[in-house]
Amino acid sequence: MNKASPILGMWIRVRSCAAVLGAPLITLALVSLAMMFLANEDPFARDALCRVARCFYSDAALGWNKLLYDLSYGCVISVVFYWILVRLPEHRKRQRIKKSFESQYRAFKLACIENFLAVADGSFDSRLPEKLQPIDEFRRYFKQNVGDGRSRWDEVANKMSSYYMDSTLNRMSILQQEISFVMHNADISECEAFDFLKHLSQAMQMQRNAMLDSESMRSFLRFFWQLFAGWDWVEGYRARDIVEEMIEAI
């Protein structure tokens, strides 16, 4: 059995980590703002709260309110500066990396589809590779029967040449380098996306020495069927490209 199959199949959904990392800071800022209103010298917020809830009084209320106000004010300022100096530049960097990776994956997918079409059909409409980018369209086209019970995907396996094999492997190597760049430069260490990228890179590494013999070819094409047709060993066919889902989570 192809070792790459469960590696890709185990990742059904990819969740974004941005909300997880941002929620505590947002909560801290909102709580601090609320405390600033309650501890303000003007008691309008405290008076409003006392009309709907039980209030506690203290002979040292002025000092406690001043301390609470200063601490809350410091928290709000710290969160604002943290977002401006750290999170905003980090977000912009992540967006640049994400856009680059999205472009590289699209180029990789388009080039591989062109290779598979050239092998299966010989010649094809120049607009066809673009139309086959969605996984349902790729699946539908390459599952079509071309005669004698053979599908177009069977034709790819039977007619694959060393030229198109090498071309596809080279494209895979370029994408693997891009994955390595993303993993080392995007702060996604707490996300499932990081683990997916690592496993995808490992799966590609397993295919680097693929050859034209039948066993190697089955493993090679099974990897691409999972990637481009959306096949999952647990859930069956997916509705969306899992790599595109992962890119959204970066």
For the chain, what is the mean pLDDT?
83
Helix, strand, coil: what percent of the chain each, to 5? 70, 5, 25
Q: Backbone phi, then psi, for 151, in 5-degree steps?
A: -90, 170
Which residues face 147 on adjacent strands?
150
B/e letters for 47-58, b = 16+ CB within 10 Å, e = fewer, are eeeeeeeeeeee
Residue type, 190: E
The predicted pLDDT at position 103 comes to: 94
Kindly give the parts of the chain with pLDDT less than 70.
Answer: 1-22, 56, 58-59, 189-191
CA 41 to chain centre: 48
pTM above threshold 0.75 = no
Secondary structure of residue 130 in the 3-state scheme: helix
The predicted pLDDT at position 128 comes to: 95
